């Protein structure tokens, strides 16, 4: 796991009370694990401000208990028919979870480091 942010970085971004009643050190560790899993490219040293801001947002979500939530087996398909010819259908991916606003914002900030760089050409020989 790479340490992209520290508690001091998050305090500088969000203020000293960002963790609320949560554990700030654990939240930052969870945010670093999340960032390590998402970032696919080499990150320059020092860490860019966009990654620090993304990490701060994710750490805040982690402190609130919204980052690594327990997942449950979800409905794969469900169809309800009210009357002949009328029906509603929902299909969910197994283990899918909703993303919080903080996670969505962090993913938007990380876009330059998450997307693959360039095109890979394959040549059949």
Residues 6+ apart with CB under 8 A from 71: 95, 97
Reported pTM? 0.67
According to the model, what pLDDT value does residue 66 have? 84
- Establish if 80 belongs to a structural domain: no
81 secondary structure, DSSP code: E
- Establish if 121 belongs to a structural domain: no
Distance of alpha carbon 76 from alpha carbon 69, whole angstroms: 20
- Establish if 2 belongs to a structural domain: no
- Establish if 95 belongs to a structural domain: no
Provide the residue range defining the domain that includes 14: 7-69+100-114
Distance of alpha carbon 48 from alpha carbon 99, whole angstroms: 24
- Establish if 78 belongs to a structural domain: no
- Establish if 20 belongs to a structural domain: yes
- pLDDT tens-digit readout, 86-96: 777 766 665 66
Neighbours of 105 (CB within 10 A): 16
99 secondary structure, DSSP code: P
Pick the more confident residue, 123 or 9. 9
- Establish if 123 belongs to a structural domain: no
According to the model, what pLDDT value does residue 116 have? 63
- Establish if 44 belongs to a structural domain: yes
- What average pLDDT does this structure show over 51-58? 92
Overall number of domains in the chain: 1
Q: Give the pair of three-digit tokens for residue 75.
A: 């409905």
- pLDDT tens-digit readout, 105-123: 777 777 777 766 666 667 7
């Amino acid at each position: 796991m790479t340490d992209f942010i520290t508690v001091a970085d998050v305090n500088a971004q969000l203020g000293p009370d960002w963790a609320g009643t949560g554990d700030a050190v654990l939240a930052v560790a969870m945010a670093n694990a999340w960032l390590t899993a998402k970032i696919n490219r080499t990150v320059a040293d020092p860490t860019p401000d966009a990654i620090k801001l993304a990490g701060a947002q994710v750490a805040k979500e982690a402190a609130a208990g919204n980052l690594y939530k327990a997942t449950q087996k979800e409905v794969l398909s469900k169809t309800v028919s009210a009357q002949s010819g009328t029906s509603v259908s929902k299909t969910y991916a197994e283990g899918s979870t909703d993303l919080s606003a903080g996670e969505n914002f962090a993913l938007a900030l990380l876009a330059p480091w998450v997307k693959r760089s360039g095109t890979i050409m394959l040549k059949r020989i």
